[in-house]
Amino acid sequence: MRMRNKPWALDFLSEHKSFIDIDESHQLDITSRFKKQQPIHLEIGTGMGRFITTLAKRHPEINFVGVELDKNIMIRVVEKAIEMELDNLQLVLLDANHLRDYFNADEVSHIYLNFSDPWPKNRHEKRRLTHKNFLKQYKEILKVDGMLQFKTDNRGLFEFSLEHLNNFGMKFHEINLNVHEMESPENIRTEYEDKFSSRGNLIYQLKASF
Ligand code: SAM
């Protein structure tokens, strides 16, 4: 996702520190940022945040954390969180390569990856968010019965993910090759999902545990 650089982005984000951590000051302490102590669900690569803000509104009994590395994009998520008055959502400006330093072991119940960047070139394989280097981190921060949920329109990335999760010994709970056929009311269409499905692309989803 490309978004024009906003020189004021960090100033804006730092004015809203009740919603967002911009300098990892709550590393290993994100749980204490929530009013209620309840399960934590994490989305990695929120983009503009429609998915996580909608989910947080629907599920006040869950605490949500959204991780995104681009400060310009994160502005849009913060704006939504303010408008929707969400007190069960915290945002973190972070590269997912550092997840394990940020979250405690067994702290998270569910991880969502939505339309992650496909990085189609082989030499960029390690940047894919379902590469085994990321899976190792997810395994550590997820609770024993925690779930990884991944949705994409990218057939190549979906096949790569099925193969790599399987090689990692993960257990599949759902493999859906057409999410929009008999779409569940639980499905929240992300900004990218709308864009790609309007072009006629199929939407794939899997759910798996370690
Ligand atoms: N999930 C959104 C959606 O479905 O509309 C956005 C999808 S967009 C293709 C991927 C997003 O993941 C971008 O906003 C990008 O900045 C973010 N991202 C990519 N790699 C990341 C990483 N290593 N850590 C955190 N965010 C990342």
Residue 67, ligand 1, Cβ within 6 A: yes
The pLDDT tens digits for 137-168 are: 999 999 999 999 999 999 999 999 999 999 99
Whether residue 117 lies in the annotated active site: yes
Residue 44 in any domain: the answer is yes
The first and second tokens of residue 25, run together, are 């000051």
Asked whether residue 138 is assigned to any structural domain, the reply reads: yes
131 lines ligand 1 (CB under 6 A): no
Cα 120 to Cα 51: distance, rounded to the nearest angstrom: 24
Determine the 3-state secondary structure of 175 from DSSP. strand
Residue 71 resides in a domain = yes
Nearest CA to ligand 1 atom 27: 45
Q: What are phi and psi of 196, to 5 degrees?
A: -75, -35
Residue 2 placed within a domain: no
The tally of domains found in the chain comes to 1
Do 127 and 160 touch, CB atoms closer than 8 A?
no
**Domain assignment present for 67:** yes
Where residue 4 falls among pLDDT bands split at 50, 70, 90? confident
Residue 90 within a domain = yes
Residue 104 Cα to ligand 1 midpoint, Å, equals: 22
Name the residue at shortest CA distance from atom 15 of ligand 1.
45
Residue 121 domain-assigned (yes or no): yes
Classify residue 3: in a domain, yes or no. Answer: no
pLDDT tier, 196 (very low <50, low <70, confident <90, very high otherwise): very high
CATH of the domain at 107: 3.40.50.150
Distance 65 CA to ligand 1 centre (A): 14
Q: Is the CB of 95 under 6 A from ligand 1?
A: yes
Range of the domain at 67: 9-209
Task: Tell me the two tokens of residue 118.
Answer: 């496909």
